[in-house]
Amino acid sequence: MPRRPALSRRSAALATLLVATALAATGTQAEIAMRDDTGREVKLARPAQRIVSLAPHVTELLFAAGAGERVVGAVAYSDYPEAARTLPRVGGYTNVDMEAVAALKPDLVIAWKSGNRDAHMDKLAALGIPVFLNEPRSLDDVARSLETIGRLAGTDAAGRAAADAFRARKGALATSFGQRPRVRMFYQIWDKPLMTINDEHLISDVIRLCGGENVFAKLAQLAPTIGVESVLAADPEVIVASGMGEARPEWLDSWKRWPKLAATARDNLYFVPPELIQRHTPRILDGAAMLCDQLEMARGKRPAGTR
């Protein structure tokens, strides 16, 4: 008789351990409460098991953070990695198909603050679907996003590993190029209308990483429209374009109409594929490596005595 309580206690402890192990294995840990990139608190009863992504870069971040198997739907152009191409589509990031989202029964939607429409977010909230807004504005934010998504999806270790690898690679690029002589450059994201980016844009962080200087950094808008005259007046040493596809846009070479422009005179007209520099994902460091090499080539083309 005296031994029974001890046995019961041991059995209870073993049962508790087994339950905890099972919960950890299935991702059903305790409630998660996190603030998104707008400061709103988002609460989940457990790590998300059915996630809908409302931006291509969010889809890519989810897979990079080890949560690809939890993604049940995504918007158009969610094309990386290869597995993302087969996900059910819920419209585009500016025209989300709300019925398609609801039909997937997500326990979490991750959206893009500056890309998705507020009206769509309000409808999701009205349906009782938790929405986490992602808005990376710097390379450090990309690493943080990987960790955050890992936490939301219960893939913490994978998210942290991806973030650590990202920070290590960023650090290596900074060591190689961050202290090189400054290169004044114009980054062109579109032709008609002519558009660029200011200093708050993620791409400007890449420019700084490579030892570049954005000649339109002080403009107020994140992606302002400018005139050709402004570019000619700024006289950048380098012009880099991204466009919309993998091919070098024809309009990049239109700057050759101004042979006295420093970038034209020194043949410093370069291209970086948009998916490698305009998406807030680990691949942005692939684009950064390309840009860093291009700016280094430009330094090599400077007249003697100016390098």
Report in angstroms the alpha-carbon separations of 109 from 16, 93, 124, 162: 32, 12, 8, 21
Measure Cα distances from 113 to 54, 142, 160, 205 in Å.
Answer: 10, 14, 23, 19
CA angle 121, 123, 126 (to 5 degrees): 110
- Give the closest residue to 108 by CA, choosing from 131, 124, 137, 78: 131
Nearest alpha-carbon partner for 87 in 79, 95, 96: 79
Query: Which DSSP letter does residue 88 get?
Result: P
Degrees (nearest 5) of the Cα angle 135, 136, 140? 150
pLDDT recorded at residue 307:
61
Ramachandran class of 27: left when φ > 0, alpha when ψ lies in -120 to 50, beta otherwise: left
What pLDDT is recorded for position 98? 93
Separation CA 111–CA 202 (nearest Å): 17
User: Residue 10's pLDDT is what?
Assistant: 47
DSSP-assigned beta bridge partners for residue 33: 43
Angle at 9 between CA 8 and CA 12, to 5 degrees: 85
* pLDDT value, residue 140: 96
pLDDT of amino acid 247: 74
Residue 279 sits at the vertex; the CA angle it makes with 73 and 126, to the nearest 5 degrees, is 40
The pair of three-digit structure tokens given for residue 11, joined into one six-digit string: 């059995």
Identify the residue whose tokens are 């994902």.
Answer: 281
- Which of 22-50 are b and which e, b meaning 16 or more Cβ less than 10 Å from the residue's Cβ? eeeeeeeeeebeeebbeeeebebeebbbe
Q: Which pLDDT does position 81 carry in this prediction?
A: 96
pLDDT tens per residue across all 307 residues of the chain: 444 444 344 444 444 444 344 444 444 457 899 999 999 999 999 999 999 999 999 999 999 999 999 999 999 999 999 999 999 999 998 899 999 999 999 999 999 988 888 888 889 989 999 999 999 989 999 999 999 999 999 999 999 999 999 999 999 999 999 899 999 999 999 999 999 999 999 999 999 999 999 999 999 999 999 999 999 999 999 999 987 667 788 889 999 999 999 999 999 999 999 999 989 999 999 999 999 999 999 999 998 766 6
Q: Output helix, strand, coil percentages for the chain, rounded to the nearest 5.
A: 45, 15, 40
Task: For tokens 């994201």, name the residue.
Answer: 189
What region does 121 belong to: left with phi over 0, alpha with psi -120 to 50, or beta?
alpha
Give the pLDDT score at 29. Answer: 56
